Amino acid sequence: MKNIEELAQELSYTVFTMEDSSAVILDGYTSDLLSDVMGNASEDSALITIQAHKNTIAVASLIGMHAIILCNGRAPADDMIEAAKREQIAILGTSENQFTVSYRLAKALGKV
């Protein structure tokens, strides 16, 4: 269990927005299909995805996720950052792909 700020630092990911740096991350969920995320991701996990648009924030907020990690160097659209601020969801970014982010996050969270 770590908070989002510690994770961002430890994994040295870019922070696009982080209104609530104390949000605790317990797990991760890797998917680019929003219905899959909606149906299967658990609360308090970080979403690892390449979907860098506003709808991702809606999904994350509806199911109570506090962080999104954008992979492959994708940068969030301005309206995505704005929506994330409103919903207090952090957006991190990295040039790593979903596989790499997944195992690094799992390791950082002591899952493996």
Q: Side chain identity at 41, as an amino acid letter?
A: A
Tell me how many residues contact other proteins (CB under 8 A).
Answer: 23
Comparing CA positions, the residue from 65, 59, 55 lying closest to residue 27 is 65
Q: Side chain identity at 91, as an amino acid letter?
A: I
- Return the percent helix, strand and coil in the chain, to nearest 5: 40, 20, 40
Instruction: Give CA–CA dist 62/10, Å, rounded.
Output: 27
Q: Give the binding range for other proteins (CB under 8 A) out of 21-29, 51-59, 66-74, 89-97.
A: 51-59
Considering the rule CB under 8 A, would residue 42 count as an interface residue with other proteins? Answer: yes
From the list 10, 19, 64, 111, which residue makes contact with other proteins (rule: CB under 8 A)?
64
Q: Give the binding range for other proteins (CB under 8 A) out of 14-22, 55-63, 91-99, 101-109.
A: 55-63
State the residues that interact with other proteins by CB under 8 A: 32-36, 38-40, 42-43, 49, 51, 53-56, 58-59, 61-64, 79
